[in-house]
Structure 1
């Protein structure tokens, strides 16, 4: 059964709105391309996959899950150009590094007169005006020109029989940048049959980018303008100049478009995408209400420098976790622990109550219960003491060493620990030394052994052991 969360957090609302915005942007960019048809098919397959999981059809859901991985790879390979363009549109920094020169209205006038002149002569042409988005990946096999915009050059490019006649010319930064480029064709099945390859190429580029494409029909002698995947006929040079000036020239004054117009325009696809996102959100969060009991360790920090933690019990506690999402990993695979702050602890036995904030829970999980709800700790005052170092000898000294003794340097060390244990320590011993192997004049290095479990020696260095005469200091 599908368990819809009993309450919705602010994070959930933000999650739904962000995904709705992103999906609507993808829909706006791909809605008239072949990529849109594939995305719709992939969405249907995804819905079927969730339905099979919900109905318990394990074999079908497993097959769809395995096929999904292959389909994603195929989509990346087949639609790599569209994906690059989408990522380019998402880039927030591209405007900082791109500088574009304005195409003057006088140039639009020359372009319009040239295009209508070619239309009167039934000379076909495609002229692409680049705006904010790069066209490098979509305009292929072009010949670089980088020349001024003049009617003579435009007519020479598209004149019948010239090497640059086939393909499109690109106008960028107020200059003719490239000619004889191949454009991607539109896969829109609603394009009328009488439109030829030039019109399909113009629509194909305008569907994928924000470019403005002007087309001259060789058969009908008409001038058309393709923008955003839509084609419109232009009746006169003046009308074409007005369109180009409006679409390409920088906006000098902000048009007063209200927030409500942005939100409620094109409402039907927005509402459909919002409904799809809410459905997926409900499916993803359907595991809410599933409570799992997990045993986690108890860790402590912040003990005052003047105290030592002697005992704590228990060392593990059981917690009940509730998951909000099926995307959250299983609790058994997470490093969850109770991390208790003991900075306010005093000497003696204390009962510390466990709080929900003591546990490092991942996002998407809440805690329902803790057992036991508190732990008992015992702390003692920390003390230091200077004690002598005794060399642990095994056996007796060799022949000729009767007047010698074994000495350690340093002769004393400082130990630190709980007061009750420090009071029981009178000396610290070294690692065992074989007395029969000691040689006069040679120095040996041995580590000190911890006297008790909770007592530490305030030096990490090994002590020096050697033979000395009688009771004299070396």
Structure 2
């Protein structure tokens, strides 16, 4: 009995009461970790983060197995590596600090306003694409999801405005200065226009597909973005997701597809049809059939 009481006394001494300072400490660390993860996603630095993690695991293994020479060399690399990372990510770190200064902490935990803007953006996009399709005006829009497209935005003109059908028709008018590039939408707002996208590396694409379609497919190959395209030759509407292209879409089909891809949690799983593009093209039949048609 005395041993149990002694053990309980030790445990009581080890456990400290949870106070308001502990809560503040946890919130600060959660916010810092959130911003770091957001920075990695924004700069597509996932590979660098994985490399650093593997490096730390190697250091731990060298210490456990007492590999003195390896531990010494890895320790020297860490000393210079921190400075190298600061130099390498200097623009991103500066942008992160600026963003922290502008951040409304309340928005970190709620996305309702963004969802409402995205819902409106889809409606306005469908309205604009319906008109652009009839006039055979080429258009290319990229809806950003988890993978940030800052590098593409830098190639065009940075904007910050709501998605509006009339604005889109003016941007893609064939005599407008920004009509050749892509419009990039982030969280329901236009953040860039006239942006250049990477071309698809798929050698099996139909030669009849134009540069606009190849750029749209390329963007969907490199990121998880949803890309909506209007053909300048035929006026047909297409959507690219995950490197797959679905063509000749009706406006109502375009709207359903965009909502299912960009706002999937709003759909009722029991009643809503499974209309995601990735599901439609999983068998590859749609892609093969559409690749034979002219752009």
Which protein has the larger Cα radius of gyration, Structure 1 or Structure 2? 1
Q: Relative contact order: is structure 1 or structure 2 higher (C-alpha 8 Å, sep ≥ 6)?
A: 2
Structure with the larger helix share: 2
The TM-score, its normalising length taken from structure 1, stands at 0.34
